[in-house]
Amino acid sequence: MKTKIMRSFVLILATSTVVACNSAYKTDTASDTKASGSSIQEARPSSSAVLPAISAYPATRTVDQVDNYHGVSVSDPYRWLEAQNEPEVKEWVDAQNALAKPLLSELPSHERYTERLTALWDYEKYTTPFMVNSKVFYTYNNGLQDQYVMYVSSEENREGNFEVLIDPNHLSDDGTVSMASTEVSPKAGYLAYMLSDGGSDWSTIHVRDVNTKQDTNDFLSGVKFTNIAWLPDETGFYYSRYPKDENGEYDDSKTVSIYFHQLGTEQREDKLVFKFDDKPTWNPYPAVIQDGETLLISVFEGYESNGVYAKSLTKQGPLLPIFDKWDGLYELIGEEDNKLLFSSTQNAPTGKVIQVTLNDSPDSNKAVIDISTIIESSDATLRKASLLDGKLFVQYLKDVKANVVVFDTKGNKLKELAFSDVGNVSGFNGSKNASSTFYKLTGFTNPGQVFKYDLDSGTSSVFKTIDTGINYDNYVTKQVFYTSKDGTKVPMFIVHKKGIKLDGSNKTLLYGYGGFNVSLLPSYSISRMVWVEQGNVLAIANIRGGGEYGEKWHQAGTKLNKQNVFDDFISGANFLIEKGYTSSDKLAVQGGSNGGLLVGAVITQRPDLFAAALPAVGVLDMLRYHTPSANARGWSSDYGLSEDKEQFEALYAYSPLHNTRPGTCYPATLITTGDHDDRVVPWHSYKFAAQLQASQGCDNPILLKVETRAGHGAGTPTWMRIQGYAEQWAFLEAALQ
């Protein structure tokens, strides 16, 4: 399977299991809706009718820590909570859990939600298969398995007799060891797979022989996020790893370097292939092209642009630039003859496909002969392109609805794939010489089907039908467009049972993300289905900062424009109230990671507008978010840095930690994080919880629940997911009275 060289350290999508298309879809337009950040001052009770008042929160000491930012003195009284491995901090976390866990488990609807989540979670789930060298691979969950199992077909009978290739459920007693990523070798002889323990981003690389279903002795550590770039002959692969510090520990405050690992050797024998000595913020990641003769190096420094370079693997020579102007994002699609195909946002905010002709002269110091555009940008956003059997499968997004167009490699349109329902489409993966590919339709209220696409005939057939036993005809999905504070039209999906009354009485959950070019697409979520099944409303706002309308939409929600994200979300809440879906005492907000920042920002800016909040693994201290790791510093392309005066002023104005006000009545808030989260470190949630508890001016509870053996969300076992969602939904049921 083709390795992508454009790194994507997106914080989290925070969606559950993703599968297929909704049964009832319609579009509403509300272009004249008045929705501003200061409208709708609904009165609501200062305490919940069901949630108990907290008589006393765990004692949290303060320190006299004051930092000077460009002449502004900023107090940081909970700085000591950043030392998360210190005994005092662990004792404080234990005290917070001792408060939160019993309260959550004893809520009136907790048992009901646990039972219903368990029942609905128990159905067969399939990821989209892909083909490599005539073998088909996919992952499968029989219902309540903690981790998905990877299967492979035999070469002789790829349509049946799928066999277990690897089952992570046997790797730990509590189900918390997961496969972070996989990469099949070019001839499908080996599977390189990365294991994460307890949700950590730190992973170990292992290799399994696809034919014998046994691991080799290869074992590599010191990696996060890296891709695996196999040599065509499968004798080894390139990967990126962190350096060691003076204590011999891998140090993710530094950038990665590229190494080559030869199968059957110890990691200490791995050869350093490339590193940047003079670029302390550039992270290089490998891909192998030209039948193993050239290493293609993509350089990650943020989410706005990247660089791409070439280095010969067969002769000595300099690093040759392919794209070094940092004027857009470039992602390798595939290779045809001596030409490379990339998707690009250079002068094309919605994306285009370009062709790069490489110089085949062995003595040349110039890598590129010609660059030409073969598929022009359009009003639809290019999400992904795949090269299969000499055809380009380009996945587009238009008004947050997906379609797929097939082109030849000259850019001529061959066909457009038509779908009976509107929703998300994913897949079209595999090696470029595969005879078949697979795709999946997704939506909010139907787990849908997986299809096989014959590349010769261009026809589709059902590969797997997913059945949950729910009658989705009882539900409706709408797409609406509302007006944000500055007049921008923002799309939002609303999902609910048919026949609800728009009288403001519906318990409603508004979810958002708004960052890092991430698009929130129609997708099936078991946990959300349980919420809606109970007669509640779900709203998904496609706010700025995401990728729904390309790079301009993304940039409109970054750095000095970040307030647009919060204005969009607040305006979405106002729309739901004005249209009678809900009222402020029935409205909750949810978001994870960058979405946790979103929730923290809107409840500190408009605490009167919401009755409950669920910020998960959030980025909440915007002045110090970049300090834990090189990866965190890379988020500065979206956030900016407090080291810059103008960016500091913008960050300080919305940073949730720094914008709580003593005596304010904040919504009932359940803050969640994992003690193994080394992406958004848990001290963000610790400090925000301490500050919010100290500032709370009414009886609405502020709870912090810290999950042990969990990280940023990926790889969380099924039992832990069910437990977490049961607590969150029961918390909302109690708060939205």
Residue 705 in contact with residue 727, Cβ under 8 Å?
Answer: yes
Catalytic residue chosen out of the listed positions 110, 206, 676, 712: 712
Catalytic residue chosen out of the listed positions 48, 593, 655, 685: 593
The CB-based long-range contact list for 323-326 (8 Å cut-off, 24+ gap) reads 326/301
Among the residues of 617-682, which ranges form H helices? 630-633, 636-639, 645-654
Residue 150 in contact with residue 194, Cβ under 8 Å?
Answer: no
Tokens standing for residue 203: 């992973």
Tokens standing for residue 322: 């392919």
Residue 1 CB coordination number (10 Å)? 18
Give the count of alpha carbons within 13 A of 22, CB side only: 27
Distance from the Cα of residue 126 to its chain's centroid: 19
Phi, psi of 484 (to 5 degrees): -85, 180
Core vs surface per residue 618-627: b (16+ CB within 10 A) or e:
bbbbbbbbbe
DSSP state of 731: H
In three-state secondary structure terms, 237 is strand
Tokens standing for residue 432: 């470029």
> Which residue, 495, 509, 492, is CA-closest to 729?
509
CA-based R_g, the chain, Å: 25
The whole-angstrom separation of Cα 131 and Cα 426 is 15
Among the residues of 243-297, which ranges form H helices? none
Question: Could you tell me whether strands 508-511 and 587-592 are parallel, antiparallel, or unpaired per DSSP bridges?
Answer: parallel
Distance from the Cα of residue 697 to its chain's centroid: 34
The whole-angstrom separation of Cα 515 and Cα 618 is 13
The whole-angstrom separation of Cα 407 and Cα 429 is 16
The whole-angstrom separation of Cα 92 and Cα 724 is 21
Residue 637 known to be catalytic: no
Residue 160 CB coordination number (10 Å)? 7
> Which residue, 550, 518, 553, 555, is CA-closest to 378?
550
Residues facing residue 591 across a β-bridge: 615
Residue whose pair of structure tokens reads 């024998």 in the numeric block: 269
The whole-angstrom separation of Cα 40 and Cα 34 is 10
In three-state secondary structure terms, 632 is helix
Residue 122 CB coordination number (10 Å)? 16
> Which residue, 230, 281, 292, is CA-closest to 260?
230
DSSP state of 252: T
Helices (H) and strands (E) in the chain, counts: 11, 40
Number of residues that make up the chain: 737
Residues facing residue 382 across a β-bridge: 396
Residue 712 known to be catalytic: yes
> Which residue, 123, 104, 68, is CA-closest to 672?
104
The whole-angstrom separation of Cα 309 and Cα 299 is 8
Cα–Cα–Cα angle for 494, 495, 500, rounded to 5 degrees: 100
Residue whose pair of structure tokens reads 């059997």 in the numeric block: 389
> Which residue, 734, 703, 732, is CA-closest to 97?
703
Tokens standing for residue 466: 């997913």
Q: How far apart are the first and last CA of the chain?
A: 51
The residues annotated with a catalytic role in the active site are 593, 712
